[in-house]
Every structure is written in C-alpha cells, then in structure tokens.
Structure 1
Amino acid sequence: MTENEQLLARVATKARNTRPWGWASLPEPVDAATVARAEATLGFALPPLLAELYLWIGDGGFGPEYGLLPLLDSAPAGEPAAVVQYLANRKSARKDPDWPWPDGVLPISHWGCAMYACVDCRSPQATVLLFEPNAGDAAHAWYVDAPSLADWLCSWLDGTGWYEETNEGVDLAPWADFAMRTTEAHAS
C-alpha cells in the first residue's frame, strides 16, 4: 500500500466515524465526470490527493471544524461548494482590487468568520493556506497552514492542527508568494 493509499484509508476511517458541524452524514463520493466538470469550470486541475478525497471518501462533510466543502453542489449547512466559492472570490477580487484572490487557490474548508482553508492547486505539493481576512488587509490575510495537503490531513487525523484547543497560540507563517501570485493575476 502506498503512502497516499495509507493516508486515504486513515481519512476514510475518521470520515466514517466523525461529523463536522452541520453535516448529518457523510455524502457519497463524486464520480470522475464531476471532477472533470469542476476542473473545466475552474480552468485548472485539482491536485491528485484532493481529487482522490472527493472520488473515494465523500463530496465534503469530513475534516476539521466545518469539514471539506463539497466540490460542486452546496453543503447541507448552506455553505457554498468549493468551485462556487472560488469563482465568487475571484469575481469579488475583480470588483475590489484591494482584496485580490490568487489564481489556483481553491477554498476547501470554511473556518467561520470568513476564514477558509485553501489548497494552492499550482504548487506541486498542494500547499494548504489559511485565508484570514479579519487581519485587516489582504497582504496580511494569507498564511501557510501546512506545506502540503497530506500534512494538513495528518494534522487533522493526529489532532495537531493550529485550530486544536491544545495548540492555542500557534503562529502560522505568512504566505510569502501572496504578492507575487496576485501581481501575476492582475497582469493577466
């Protein structure tokens, strides 16, 4: 069994046994056509591990706090789907240039208070970022939550994420690529 397969098995076990807020049950996984439709709508590919979560575990409804957002359809708790939220954030950024949303940064989980866990779909390791707009301005709203999606999932599985009560006061590093990635977005 590969490392990714072992991780997916651990995630599947926890996903079957725990429910994030607002989810009564674990949704069925999506099919390959749904992933392809999401990627076509986004204009970029999902990182393989993220696609596998949706294909093999469920269409959202598992993970830390409010759990993974569904890929294309709205969640039972009224949260928008990941693709819908990404498109809304990009549209909003065009209207308000003070709050640019980087291309390829897909919101995957809502933390409440307008905060999102996001996957940088352009990074080879699928870096997970925290978008925290309550910081005051866009330049100070982006942090590296985990160097990879696999690391982010492991911190949830192991109870070591910054959001755990036992880890209060953990400082996340600012996302150093924010300025470069949003400048690229404005140039295109």
Structure 2
Amino acid sequence: MTEDEIFEAILSAPGPNVLPAASSEAVAETEEAIGYPLPPLLRRLYLEVGNGGFGPRGGIIGVRGYDFWKSDIFADITESALRFEPSPTDDARA
C-alpha cells in the first residue's frame, strides 16, 4: 500500500471526522521535544491528513493543537515527551 493509498483509506474510513492538519511549527516542536525526527509517514500524516484522532482505538494522539481528548497526564505527544523526559538523577540510579 502506498502512502497516498493510506491517506485515502484514512480519509474515507467511517468514524469521527479527521481533525485539521497540524502546523509545521507544531510538528517541529514535537521533534525537538522528543529529540529526533518523526518517522516520515507519521510526519506526513500530521501535516497532510490531520492532527491525530484517526486510526484504531480512538486514533493516534496529535502534536500541539490536538484537541480530540484530554488526559490528566498529557494532552498531546509533545506534552507527553516533555513530561516523561528523564531527569539527570535517573542516570545515577541505573
């Protein structure tokens, strides 16, 4: 299946509407927070299809601007990455 076929399958699937696409700034912020680039297909999905909310089990979580569901722990993958970043003392315990 090509990336374009994946995009078409997502957009034509029954279920909740796909959220508006993420901004390139939001994707860049996420990549900076996690410390590496997103996989190319996931990056394209955020930028060209929608900022999360599509896929199985309620869909993938989006980057900043994602407003599909909120958790007491985190609201998007950027916040999740920043919240669960290891502290300097974690290395001392290993």
TM above 0.5, one fold?
Answer: yes
> For the Cα contact (< 8 Å) 2:31–2:37, is it kept in 1?
yes
CA contact (8 A) 2:30 2:63 kept: yes
Tell me how far apart the structure 2 counterparts of residues 77 and 34 of structure 1 sit (CA, whole Å).
Answer: 17
Deviation at 1:48, TM superposition (A): 0.3
Unmatched 5+ stretches in structure 2: none
Structure having the larger proportion of residues in strand: 1
CA shift, 1:29, in A, is 0.4
1:90 corresponds to which of 69, 85, 89: 85
| C-alpha separation in 1, matches of 2:11 and 2:76 | 20
TM-score (norm 1): 0.41
Query: TM-score if structure 2 supplies the norm length?
Result: 0.73
Does residue 37 in structure 1 map to residue 34 in structure 2?
Answer: no
Percent of aligned positions with the same letter in both sequences?
24
Structure 1 CA distance for aligned equivalents of residues 48 and 35 of structure 2:
23
Tell me if the contact between 2:7 and 2:45 (Cα under 8 Å) persists in the aligned partners: yes
Structure 1: 4+ residue segments shifted above 6 A: none
Q: Secondary structure at the match of 1:59?
A: coil
Aligned partners of 2:65, 2:88: CA distance in 1, in Å?
Answer: 25
* Unaligned segments of structure 1, at least 5 residues: 20-24, 98-185
Letter in 2 for 1:65: R
The Cα offsets for residues 153-184 of structure 1, whole Å up to 9 and x where unpaired, read as xxxxxxxxxxxxxxxxxxxxxxxxxxxxxxxx
Contact 2:29 2:78 in 1 (8 A): no
Distance 2:77 2:3 in 1: 22
SS at match of 1:65: coil
Structure-1 separation of matches of 2:66 and 2:4: 28
Report the RMSD for the aligned CA atoms in angstroms: 2.6
* Matched positions, count: 89
- Kindly report which structure 2 residues correspond to 1:134-153, keeping only aligned pairs within 5 A, or say none: none
Aligned-pair CA distance for 1:62: 0.9
Q: Counterparts of 2:89 and 2:67 in 1: how far apart (Å)?
A: 27
Higher RCO by CA contacts (8 Å cutoff, separation 6 or greater): 2
Higher mean displacement: 46-55 or 72-81 = 72-81
